[in-house]
Chains A and B, each alone.
Chain A
C-alpha cells in the first residue's frame, strides 16, 4: 500500500518534468522547422523583389465589424489580401450592421468599422469621449435598390414616393400604380446602416426633419431575410444594397426604377447610373479607422486600407456589384 502510494507520488512528480522536457524539445524542434521554412520562403522573394507578389514582412492584426451591405466586399477583399499579405491576421466581420460596427469601434473592439452610412454626430462625440479620432475612408459607392414582389405591377416610383411609402404616408399600392393592396413595409433593424440611411437621407430629405419611418415597419435581422420576405409577400417593399441583390436568386424579387422627381425619367440602379449620379438613392460606403490609416502604427491596417483603395481592391468591389470611386 505504502509502496504503491510512494510509487504513484513519484510518478506524479516525475511526469510533469517529463512533460516539460518533451514540450521543450518539441518547441525547439518546431522552431527549427519553422525557421527553415521561413528561410525557404524568404530567399526567392528576396532574390526577385521587383516582381514580388508577397509581402511577408508586413504583420499585424486587423479586426473589422459592421455593415452587412459592405460585408460581401470585405470578405472577398480579405481573401485576396491574404494572398499578398499572408502574415497579416484579419478577424473578419460578421456583418451585423453599420451601427453595430460603429459601436464596436467606439467600444474599441475593432480597428475598422465598415459602414454604409456616415457616422452620426452623436456617435462621433461618443468616439471622441472614448479617446478615438474617427477617420473616414470612402471606399466604394452603392445604390439602395427598392425591391418588391415580382408580381407587383408598379412600374416606377419617384424619390418622394419612396420616402412617403417608408414613412407610412402612402399606404396602398393603388396610389402609386402598383398591385397587392395595403403596403407591407420591410426594413432592416436599427443596427443597419441602410435603416439609418433611408431614414435620414431619403425620408427626412424628401419630407422634412420631423418625419421618420412609419411605426408599422417589419424589421428584419439582415438583407437576405428582408429579400426573402418580399419574395413571398405580394404587398411587400424592401430596400437592399446592390451587393446584396446577389444573395437571392434572380427573378425572386423585382427592382423598381426610381426617378428624382415627377419630371425626371425613372432610373434602374446599376454601376453606370450610380457613377453618373442619375440614380437618386445612391450612397457612399466607408471604412472608419482610428486616425489616418496611412499613418497607422499597425502596418497590417495600413496595408489593408491601401489594398481596398488600390486598383485590385476597387475592381473586386465592382465584381460584387458596387461602384468604384476612382
Chain B
C-alpha cells in the first residue's frame, strides 16, 4: 500500500488501483481463512471421531448397564444381537490381545526386511537401483490389501498348515501378521531410507576414514545416527498393522476367544468390528460395544502415530533439515 502512494500515479488511476488492491487484500484474507479452516478441519474431524466413538461407546455402561469389569475382562468377544446385558458375552481383551499378537508378528517380519532393504538402497545400491526399489516399494504400498489377503490365502496358509500345523488349518495370527508385514514394509523402507539419507555426509566420511567397512559404517554409525527416524518408521508401520482389517478378517482364523500365543487362530479388534457390525441394531448392546472397541483402537493408532511424529520431529531438528 505504502509504495503505491509513493509512486504518485495520476489521480484517477490512484483511486482505482487502491480499490482493486483493497479487493485483492480482501480476497487474500478470505483465501487465507479458507485454507486455514481446511487445516483446522482435520483437527475437528479427529476430535469429532473420538467424541462420537466415546459417546456411542460409553452408552454401553451408562444407559445399558453392561458391567465395565466384564467389558474389560470377559474371555470371549461374541457379537450377538441382544439387548440383555446378561446374555451379552463380549469382552474387549481377546480382540485387544489378538491385535497385539498380530502387530508383534508383523514387526518381527517387517523390521529386519524393511531396515535391511532401506540400508541397502540408501548406502549400497547404485542410485538407479535405489530409485527402482523405492518406486517398487511405493507401488507395493498401493496394492489393495484384499489382494494381499488372497495371495496369503493361496500361498501362505497351505504352507503354514502343511509344515507347522498352526492355527485353524493354517489360519492364525502369525499367518496374518506375516502377510500384514508386506503392507508395513514399504512404509518402513521409505521413511528409514529418508532418515539414513538425512545423516550428514561427514559422519559417513569420518567412519570410512577411520577404516570402517560398509557394514560397520551402516551398523555402527549411520543407523545409530538415524535411529529416531528408523524408530518413527517402525511406529508408523505398527500403526498400519494395528489398523489393518481385510487381511486379518480373512487370514487370522476368526476365533473370538483369548489367544495365548500368536500361532493360534484369533480375531483382532478390526475384524471383530467388521464381523459384528451387521448385528449392531440401534437398541442392541453390540453397537456401543463395537463403538467402544473402535475408540480403543483409535486411541491405540493415534498414540502410536503421535509418538512416531514426535520422534521424527526430533530427528529433523537434530540434523537441521
Q: A residues bordering B, Cβ < 8 Å?
A: 96-97, 99-100, 102-104, 106-107, 120, 122-123, 125-126, 129-130, 184, 186, 189-191, 196, 215-221, 225, 228-230, 232-233, 235-236
Contact for B75 among A184, A215, A217, A218, CB less than 8 A: A215
**Is B267 touching A219 in the complex (CB atoms < 8 A)?**
yes
Q: How far, in whole Å, are A125 and B281 apart by their CA atoms in the complex?
A: 12
**Is A191 touching B275 in the complex (CB atoms < 8 A)?**
yes
The verdict on A218 contacting B168 (CB below 8 Å), with A122-B82, A232-B158, A232-B161 known, is yes
B294 at the A interface (CB under 8 A): no
Q: Which of B81, B153, B255, B283 counts the most chain A CB atoms within 10 A?
A: B81
B127 at the A interface (CB under 8 A): no
B15 at the A interface (CB under 8 A): no
Q: How far, in whole Å, are A103 and B249 apart by their CA atoms in the complex?
A: 21
B169 at the A interface (CB under 8 A): yes
> A residues within 8 A CB of B256?
217, 219
**Is B168 touching A186 in the complex (CB atoms < 8 A)?**
yes
Q: How far, in whole Å, are A190 and B168 apart by their CA atoms in the complex?
A: 18
Q: How far, in whole Å, are A190 and B279 apart by their CA atoms in the complex?
A: 8
**Is A190 touching B78 in the complex (CB atoms < 8 A)?**
yes
> Distance (Å) between the CB of B255 and the closest chain A CB?
5
> Distance (Å) between the CB of B276 and the closest chain A CB?
6
- 24 A-B contacts, Cβ less than 8 Å apart? A99-B278, A99-B279, A100-B279, A103-B81, A103-B280, A122-B83, A122-B84, A123-B81, A130-B282, A184-B168, A189-B79, A191-B276, A215-B257, A217-B256, A219-B254, A219-B267, A221-B254, A221-B275, A225-B250, A229-B168, A229-B169, A232-B161, A232-B170, A236-B168
> A residues within 8 A CB of B184?
none
Contact for A233 among B79, B87, B161, CB less than 8 A: B161
Q: How far, in whole Å, are A96 and B254 apart by their CA atoms in the complex?
A: 16
Chain B residue with Cβ nearest A105: B281
B76 at the A interface (CB under 8 A): yes
B253 at the A interface (CB under 8 A): yes
> B residues within 8 A CB of A218?
168, 171, 253-255, 265
The verdict on A233 contacting B278 (CB below 8 Å), with A103-B81, A216-B255 known, is no
> Distance (Å) between the CB of B179 and the closest chain A CB?
16
Q: How far, in whole Å, are A186 and B81 apart by their CA atoms in the complex?
A: 20
The verdict on A106 contacting B282 (CB below 8 Å), with A191-B276, A216-B257, A233-B161 known, is yes
9 extra A-B contacts, CB within 8 A, seeds A99-B80, A218-B254, A229-B169: A100-B279, A106-B281, A126-B83, A126-B284, A189-B276, A217-B255, A232-B170, A233-B161, A233-B168
Chain A contact residues: helix, strand, loop or mixed: mixed
**Is A191 touching B283 in the complex (CB atoms < 8 A)?**
no
Q: How far, in whole Å, are A225 and B169 apart by their CA atoms in the complex?
A: 12
Chain A proximity mask over B86-111: 1 for CB below 8 Å, otherwise 0: 01000000000000000000000000
Q: Which of A184, A221, A229 counts the most chain B CB atoms within 10 A?
A: A229
Q: How far, in whole Å, are A122 and B87 apart by their CA atoms in the complex?
A: 11
> Distance (Å) between the CB of A248 and the closest chain B CB?
14
> A residues within 8 A CB of B312?
none
> B residues within 8 A CB of A130?
282-283
- Which residues 63-88 of B have a CB within 8 angstroms of A? 75-76, 78-84, 87
> Distance (Å) between the CB of A147 and the closest chain B CB?
13
The verdict on A233 contacting B170 (CB below 8 Å), with A100-B279, A216-B257, A219-B256 known, is yes
Chain B residue with Cβ nearest A186: B168
Q: Ordered nearest first, which 6 A-B pairs have the shortest CB separation? A: A100-B278, A233-B169, A219-B254, A191-B278, A218-B168, A215-B257
> Distance (Å) between the CB of A98 and the closest chain B CB?
9
> Distance (Å) between the CB of A145 and the closest chain B CB?
19
> B residues within 8 A CB of A235?
169
- Which residues 109-139 of B have a CB within 8 angstroms of A? none
Q: How far, in whole Å, are A186 and B267 apart by their CA atoms in the complex?
A: 13
Chain A proximity mask over B251-281: 1 for CB below 8 Å, otherwise 0: 0011111000000010100000011101111
B230 at the A interface (CB under 8 A): no
> Distance (Å) between the CB of A220 and the closest chain B CB?
6
> A residues within 8 A CB of B81?
99, 102-103, 120, 122-123, 190
- Which residues 135-175 of B have a CB within 8 angstroms of A? 153, 157-158, 161, 168-171
> Distance (Å) between the CB of B158 and the closest chain A CB?
6
Q: Which of B161, B171, B274 counts the most chain A CB atoms within 10 A?
A: B171
> Distance (Å) between the CB of B79 and the closest chain A CB?
4
> B residues within 8 A CB of A122?
81-84, 87
> Distance (Å) between the CB of A279 and the closest chain B CB?
27
> Distance (Å) between the CB of B155 and the closest chain A CB?
12
Q: How far, in whole Å, are A191 and B257 apart by their CA atoms in the complex?
A: 17
> A residues within 8 A CB of B276?
189-191
> Distance (Å) between the CB of A128 and the closest chain B CB?
11
Chain A residue with Cβ nearest B80: A190
> B residues within 8 A CB of A96?
278
> B residues within 8 A CB of A190?
78-81, 275-276, 279
> Distance (Å) between the CB of B62 and the closest chain A CB?
19
Q: How far, in whole Å, are A235 and B167 apart by their CA atoms in the complex?
A: 12
> Distance (Å) between the CB of B321 and the closest chain A CB?
44
> A residues within 8 A CB of B170?
232-233
**Is B168 touching A126 in the complex (CB atoms < 8 A)?**
no
